[in-house]
A and B are shown apart, each in its own frame.
Chain A
Amino acid sequence: MRRNWNVLLAVAILSVVLLTGCGGDETSSENNSSSKGIGTDQGSTGEAAEKITIAVWNEPNPSEELNMYAQCEKATGIDVEVTVIPESEYSSKLNQMVATGDDSIDIYVIWENDISNFAQVQGIDPMDDYLKDSSIKTDDFIDAVAQLSEGMGGTYGLPWCAATEIMFYNQDMFDAAGVEYPTNDWTYEQYLQAVEKLTVKAPDGTTEVYGSALPNVQTWWAGIGSAGDQVYNPATGQLVIGKGAVSFIDDCKVMVDNGFVPEPSSDTADLFAAGKAAMTWQGSWNIGTYGDELAFNWDIATIPTDEVKYNTLHTGFYSINSQSQNKESAFKVIEYLMGEEGQTINSKASGNPSAIKSIADKGAWKVETAITIDNWDAMTDSLNSGVFGYTCLPSGVTNNAIGAFEAAVLGQLTSEQAVENSSQYAKETIGY
């Protein structure tokens, strides 16, 4: 009898534990509502909510003056909670949130390759109604942004910045080698010649200082696009590479074989920052990273022009989660972040120009700590020639392609095979 009671008690405890774990969150949501004080946003009606959650992949600037979310809170009176999702998982996490109808995030900052998908599945709301009475200058966006928004049947996202790709160079090494500094009119031929002259070899033939770092996951496409390939066809959404890619891969292979450029490897060290490479092609956001930290004088220039001047624009789009319970307030936050004050703070903090031309022209993106830079025109030139290219493709496709390009540089494949394999894989993947 006593054993029966013990058994029943054990089963009852286990059942309670299981049910508690599977239980809903009504109690906590009631608590949240009451802590907001004034009341909650009910979607299209109701008063402004006191708290908005925004998902991003970068930590906010630690300085309050340069923290646009903190400044937004002061300006709007709305509590802005930032949820940082690691960059490597950012896109997949957001996709999963949309798939599950998650309402914990009010504002998504969406990448270029996700915005049309999210709009298609109604994971984000169009903002046209909000924009009618808004102060956001949507007719002042850079051309590439305006073109990207076409064909979606509405404005689903507003670009938080317009980052680009540029060339960084070590002025001290150029002086030592007697090579003229690069200009924004530098041709690809001039670049190839400089790479050879700037390389410093040890007596045993190994390279002590490379003329240039190998292109990275972003700037491979700058080289291929500059060589004449379209890279991304917005009409079909396909990867378009051919002779340009073959040519650029072959050039990289020659430079690697001669020791002017390092081989693809598992090393993650930044050879340019370490003073082991005279030039590098990287994202413009590295201006803020380098600042006054480097042990040498450095400046920037546009990526050299081969057949065309080409680089890829990078941005994220502020968008409103269609499941958000606080849409009015979410738009108020976006309105601040897209306004002159929000964009200026973002530019100062990140070194990225605004996608709104009149705000970008004011130059808040010129990083103050980058005291050795004279050629700030490289940024505006790059923005003008920038396009939304590989960033609109699935990352699996672009990473696969870069793996193939690097295999070709190492002689494991021919450049034609690398291009063919990459194109074939892209066709199998895109349009699934």
Chain B
Amino acid sequence: MDNIENVQVEHISKRKRKKYFTAYAFCTPWFIGFVSFTLFPIIFMVYTSLTNRKLNGITHFIGLQNYANMFSSTTFWNSLKVTLFFTGVMMIVTTIWALILAMLLNRKQKLNGIFQFAYFLPSVIPTVALAYAFRTIFGKEAGLLNSIISMIINKNVQINWLYDQQTVYLAVFFITLFTYNTGQMMLIFRSGLNDVPIELYEACDIDGGGFAQKFFNITLPSISPIVLFNAVMGCISALNGSFALLFPLTGESGNPNGMTQVLSLLIYKEAFSNMKVGYACALSVVLFFIASLIGIALFGISKKFVFYEN
């Protein structure tokens, strides 16, 4: 009897091992990719930030000198300030705009599909192409926007949208409304809005509640997990994706006067124009920490403002 039980136990543990082997075998390709294309580059980046590696390959270990130089550089502090400002505003602007579009699409009306298509269409244009197109639109002498305004008010208008300190942020944040990230947020918000129970709105109607009360007391709390998700995605997009938007618009120096020189632009400039790969890696480490801190902060804030059904 004991022998039969032992054989059964052995058979079961063999099956379990095969199951685990199967699972790990299917995870292996992803794991190889993760190590090769994510983990190793991060470790290499941190190591390179401790050297004075140049683009032509010359490398010497210099410890924390890159960080010392960075923290004493006015260019870095300006870039950091611009990055935090740009990230915060872009996150807020794109999230609010995506929510507005989603709420418009959530209304029961004819041709909803066409509206959704029209709202989402700019998002499928590659960011670089979008930026170059808007650079032409926002041109001073030959820009489309200035021509339209001139026609409307019957006066020659030559606003230097992308080089004037008072208008550059307006132009840049306007363009962010058409990026892929905004379109993606809109779709996610839309699906979230569909899940809000209609009974809550009906109850609010019975109690005499208006649009604002419905929005702040029913809609927003119900979709708060989605708001958190989109806010985090918006931050990541602003930190990582701002390069593709700003480089064609304002150049690697973040014109005018460094006002749009986010860290990703500075990293590109230091690595590929100044050939200072080690210093660029140090900047990348800082950007990595900023992204992590923002993510942690958002999740920390979420405990107060995000409502989960359970």
Contact = CB atoms under 8 A, between A and B. Distances in A.
B66 to A, nearest CB: 9
Interface string A396-425: 110110111011001011000000010011
Interface stretch (A146-154, A266-274, A310-318): A266-274
Nearest to B135: A266
Interface size grouping (class) on chain B: 35 or more
A264 interface: yes
Given A396-B270, A399-B252, A429-B276, A265 B56 contact: no
A98 interface: yes
Nearest to A400: B253
Contacts of A27: none
B141 A267 contact: yes
B76 to A, nearest CB: 10
A14 B29 CA distance: 8
Nearest to A263: B160
A238 interface: no
Given A99-B56, A399-B253, A7 B22 contact: yes
A306 B29 CA distance: 66
A18 B141 CA distance: 54
B54 A432 contact: yes
B55 A99 contact: yes
A26 interface: no
A394 interface: yes
A249 to B, nearest CB: 13
Contacts of B55: 92, 95-96, 99
Contact of B162 (A11, A120, A265): A265
A14 B26 CA distance: 9
B interface SS class: loop
Contact of A266 (B25, B73, B138): B138
Contacts of A399: 251-253, 269, 273
Interface string A252-279: 0000000000111111110100001000
A410 B75 contact: no
A23 to B, nearest CB: 15
B258 interface: yes
A273 B301 CA distance: 57
A407 B141 contact: no
A262 B29 contact: no
B255 A432 contact: no
Interface residues of A, number: 53
B255 to A, nearest CB: 5
A205 B52 CA distance: 54
A428 B252 contact: no
B56 A428 contact: no
A137 B163 CA distance: 49
A90 B74 CA distance: 29
A64 interface: no
A4 interface: yes
B155 interface: yes
Contacts of A92: 55, 271-273, 275
Interface in B26-71: 26, 28-29, 32, 52, 54-58, 69
B268 to A, nearest CB: 9
Nearest to A424: B74
B273 A98 contact: no
A206 B160 CA distance: 14
Nearest to B58: A121
A118 interface: yes
Given A14-B29, A264-B163, A265-B163, A98 B56 contact: yes
B35 to A, nearest CB: 12
B57 A100 contact: yes
Contact of A403 (B22, B73, B258): B258
Nearest to B156: A206
A7 B275 contact: no
A406 B256 contact: yes
B140 interface: yes
A266 B275 CA distance: 26
B219 interface: no
Contact of B139 (A4, A99, A114, A267): A267
Given A11-B25, A410-B163, A117 B56 contact: yes
B22 to A, nearest CB: 5
A69 B69 CA distance: 46
B274 A396 contact: yes
Given A121-B57, A399-B273, 10 more contacts: A7-B25, A11-B25, A263-B140, A263-B160, A265-B141, A276-B141, A396-B252, A407-B256, A429-B276, A432-B274
21 contacts: A3-B22, A10-B25, A11-B28, A14-B28, A89-B272, A92-B272, A117-B56, A202-B156, A204-B155, A263-B140, A263-B160, A263-B163, A265-B141, A266-B139, A266-B250, A395-B273, A396-B273, A406-B256, A407-B255, A410-B164, A428-B73
